[in-house]
Every structure is written in structure tokens, then in C-alpha cells.
């Protein structure tokens, strides 16, 4: 929002409409409104509510106490952390990556911005699934490139169809963006479509950007497959990942890019000229996360799975439909049965029900009947949110 509100002063629908065309600004405007409501249940942002593992916190504390946090670190990241990320990608994702193929970034947000500025030239086109996380829009626009939207469909759980990807290619196409699991739909691209898209990329000599920030939160029978691990794809794939979602470390701001070493060197040069290296404290914490016990990830995944099931049943009781969540921790739901456009419904749910939910239009202008609901609250709070939603709908249907 361009203006600041006094405590208790409510953001108006007109103010929200003024930023409605910009998905990122719309999300922040709704969060500003939620911040003015003391008992708001926030089902908007994708920041995990679970605690960072204790051994990760202990590693950060140790780095501070023994002075390592005060020592300079390379712009590309601590060598030990880069090696740990590479080892995990080789073992878990089948990506033939080495330490010099890794850049540690200030969260996934910086990673996506750096790579768009480095990869794209003015006039280039990049294929982007729709709906999408709209921070990509901004990074692509600032690179002077053009975003070409590739439609996805609720009837196949928003899978990215290879035929739609190929149909969108023009002589100006330079790259294909794949986000799997997806924000906002929680879709996972199927093996058949991913394999076919890889073949399309090879045939048309295109780069693939694979955003896998939610890779550890995939629910059977869906399976997570890294594009860079498919035959002949490492050389033309840039993989984005991070520690924020996997280890509930959003505030630590540790992301990474995995790609051929020459591209990583180019990204590192841009990072050196802008933000420099990530905080050493965060990097030592991430090193402990990457090399320490992983049972906490399975524990978190089961918690999110149970919450998703609770939300699905509650939404069905409200008469809403949704794509089947296959990963991440969102439910992308069609609220058309309410008879209220999602933009207005989001405002009503927050203003009257004190429940923050983002409208689908925050992830693409055509999703006027859809809502993205995160399940990053305890189950009792999710149940209460559903009760409040039912009350708002009863008054307005």
C-alpha cells in the first residue's frame, strides 16, 4: 500500500481494487488489513508456522559464540554448505551437480530475480504456467523480457500439459518455467508431462527453470521429479531450491541455485555487485539442516497432510470444489458456488470473519472465482477459520 494506516483504521475495498491488477501488491494490502485485526486467522502467506529444528538453532548459536559468524564468507556461499547442497541433490534428486554448480542466495526470491536478470535479454519470451507466483512477473518485466502464460486446468489438477507448452513456443522463446509443486495450486507435474516437456526443451534448444522450493512436501501417489536429473537436461536446466519451506526457516533467508558452473559464475558476479554473500549465521544454520537428521521433514510433511485433509473436508462442506493438493501446503479452491467473486469474498472473509485468504486474482487475473488457502495454522485454528467462513457465507448467500 502507498499509505500507512493508523491503528484500527481499515483498508477499504477501493484501496484494494487500486492494486488488484498487481498480485504482489494485492497480497501485501490484504496482509496490512489482517494486521489491523487482532484475532485474524492468517491463511494467506506461505511461511511455515512450525518451529525451526532445535539442532539448526543450536548451530547458529554456536557460530555466533565461537566467532565464525563474524568471518567473511565467499559470495557464492560457504564451501561446506555448497557441497552439502550438491550432495543432497545428487542423492535425492539424481542431479549430477558439483559444489561449483551451486550458488547460495538470500532466499528463493533473490534466486529467481538474479537468474531472470542474468538469463533473459530484452525481447526474450519465457513460458510461465498460469496461475503462478507473481513475483516472477516482476523479475521478468525488470529484465525487459515478455512472459507468455501457459494455461493449466483444474480438471487434471493443474498439471502442466506438454502440448500447451509446445503450443506457446515462438521464435523468441528462450526458457520454460516449471514450478512443481506449484504455488498456488499445490499441483505436481506428472512424470509423463515432465518427460515430454524435457524433450520439447531439447528439441527447441530452450532453457528450463525448475522451481522446486516445495520439493520435500509431496503427497503420495504424486512423485517429485527434478528436471535436471532427466537424461540430457542438466546442461540446460536451472534448479531453484531452499531451506525456508523444508525446515521452517523462512526468516533465515537461505535459498540456492543449481546450474552448470559457468552460469553459476555469471550469477555470482551479479550477486557480488548487489547483495554480496548471505549472512554467515544463516549459512551455518542451513549447513546443520542439510547435514543433520531429516526425520523432522517427514514429521512436518505428515502435519501438513493432515491439515490439508481437514481443510478439504471443510471446504467441501461449504460447497467449494478444488484441485487435489499433491504437494506444498495450499488448497486452491473454486468458490463460485458462493455467488461472490473471489476478490470481494476475500475482503468479506477478512473484514467480517477475520480470516485472511488470498483471492485467485493475486496469482493471475483470470482466476476470479478461486481462493488460495494456506494450511499454516494448527488444526484447531483451521477448524475455527472454517466456522467463521461458514458464518460469513450464510449471511451473504
For the chain, where are the alpha helices, taking DSSP H only?
13-18, 23-34, 54-65, 79-88, 107-119, 135-142, 162-167, 191-204, 261-273, 280-291, 295-317, 342-351, 379-396
Buried b or exposed e, range 280-311, using 16+ CB within 10 angstroms = bbbbbbbbbbbbbebebbeebbebbbebbebb
> What is the H or E stretch that residue 5 is in?
none
Q: Please give the Cα distance from 146 to 71 (Å, whole number).
A: 41
What is the chain's percent helix, strand, coil content, to nearest 5?
45, 15, 40
Predicted TM-score (pTM) of the model is 0.92
Task: Give the model's pLDDT for residue 21.
Answer: 59
Compute CA 157 distance to the chain's CA centroid, rounded to the nearest angstrom: 17
Q: What backbone torsions phi and psi does residue 5 show, to the nearest 5 degrees?
A: -105, 145
What is the pLDDT, as a whole number, of residue 11? 60
pLDDT tens by residue, the chain, 397 residues? 344 444 344 466 666 666 655 656 777 788 888 888 899 999 998 899 999 999 999 999 999 999 999 999 999 999 999 999 999 999 999 999 999 999 999 999 999 999 999 999 999 999 999 999 988 999 999 999 999 999 999 999 999 999 999 999 999 999 999 999 999 999 999 999 999 999 999 999 999 999 999 999 999 999 999 999 999 999 999 999 999 999 999 999 999 999 999 999 999 999 999 999 999 999 999 999 999 999 999 999 999 999 999 999 999 999 999 999 999 999 999 999 999 989 889 989 999 999 999 999 989 999 999 999 999 999 999 999 999 999 999 999 7
Structural domains in the chain plus CATH codes: 13-51+296-396 (3.90.1150.10), 54-291 (3.40.640.10)
Q: What is the pLDDT of residue 3?
A: 45
* pLDDT score at 2: 40
pLDDT of residue 30: 83
Task: Say if residues 63 and 281 touch (Cβ distance below 8 Å).
Answer: yes
Residue 222 makes CB contacts below 8 A (sequence gap 6+) with 188, 326, 327
d(CA 276, CA 254): 13
The two beta strands, 207-211 and 237-242, are parallel
Local structure of residue 166 (DSSP, 8 states): H
pLDDT at 72: 93
User: How many DSSP H helices and E strands does the chain contain?
Assistant: 13, 13
Amino acid at each position: 500500500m502507498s499509505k500507512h494506516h493508523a491503528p484500527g483504521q481499515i483498508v477499504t475495498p477501493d484501496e484494494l481494487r487500486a492494486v488488484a491488477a498487481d498480485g504482489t501488491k494485492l497480497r501485501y494490502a490484504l496482509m496490512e488489513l489482517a494486521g489491523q485485526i487482532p484475532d485474524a486467522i492468517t491463511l494467506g502467506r506461505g511461511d511455515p508456522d512450525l518451529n525451526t529444528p532445535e539442532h539448526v538453532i543450536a548451530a547458529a548459536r554456536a557460530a555466533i559464540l565461537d566467532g565464525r559468524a563474524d568471518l567473511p564468507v565467499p559470495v557464492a556461499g560457504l564451501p561446506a554448505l555448497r557441497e552439502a547442497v550438491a550432495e543432497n541433490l545428487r542423492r535425492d534428486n539424481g542431479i549430477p551437480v558439483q559444489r561449483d554448480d551451486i550458488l547460495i542466495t538470500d532466499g528463493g526470491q533473490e534466486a529467481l530475480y538474479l537468474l531472470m536478470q542474468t538469463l533473459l535479454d530484452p525481447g526474450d519470451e519465457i513460458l510461465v504456467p498460469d496461475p503462478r507466483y507473481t513475483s516472477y512477473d516482476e523479475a521478468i518485466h525488470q529484465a525487459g523480457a515478455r512472459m507468455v502464460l501457459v494455461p493449466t486446468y483444474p480438471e487434471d489438477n493443474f498439471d502442466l500439459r506438454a502440448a500447451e507448452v509446445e503450443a506457446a513456443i515462438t521464435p523468441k522463446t528462450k526458457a520454460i518455467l516449471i514450478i512443481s509443486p506449484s504455488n498456488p495450486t499445490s499441483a505436481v507435474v506428472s512424470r509423463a508431462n515432465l518427460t515430454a516437456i524435457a524433450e520439447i526443451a531439447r528439441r527447441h534448444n530452450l532453457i528450463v527453470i525448475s522451481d522446486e522450493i516445495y520439493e520435500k512436501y509431496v503427497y503420495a501417489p504424486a512423485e517429485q521429479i527434478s528436471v535436471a536429473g532427466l537424461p540430457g537436461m542438466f546442461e540446460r536446466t536451472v534448479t531453484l531450491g531452499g531451506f525456508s519451506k523444508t525446515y521452517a526457516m523462512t526468516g533465515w533467508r537461505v535459498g540456492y541455485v543449481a546450474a552448470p558452473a559457468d552460469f553459476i559464475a555469471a550469477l555470482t558476479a551479479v550477486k557480488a555487485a548487489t547483495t554480496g554473500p548471505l549472512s554467515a549465521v544463516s549459512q551455518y544454520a542451513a549447513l546443520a539442516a542439510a547435514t543433520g537428521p531429516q526425520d523432522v521433514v517427514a514429521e512436518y510433511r505428515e502435519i501438513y497432510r493432515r491439515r490439508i485433509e481437514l481443510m478439504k473436508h471443510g471446504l467441501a462442506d461449504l460447497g467449494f470444489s478444488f484441485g487435489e493438493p499433491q504437494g506444498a501446503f495450499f488448497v486452491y479452491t473454486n468458490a463460485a458456488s458462493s455467488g461472490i467473486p473471489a476478490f470481494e469474498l476475500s475482503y468479506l472473509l477478512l473484514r467480517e470473519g477475520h480470516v485472511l485468504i488470498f483471492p485467485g486474482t493475486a496469482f493471475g487475473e483470470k482466476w476470479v472465482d478461486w481462493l488460495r488457502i494456506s494450511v499454516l495454522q494448527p488444526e484447531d485454528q483451521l477448524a475455527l477459520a472454517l466456522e467463521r467462513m461458514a458464518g460469513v457465507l450464510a449471511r451473504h448467500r
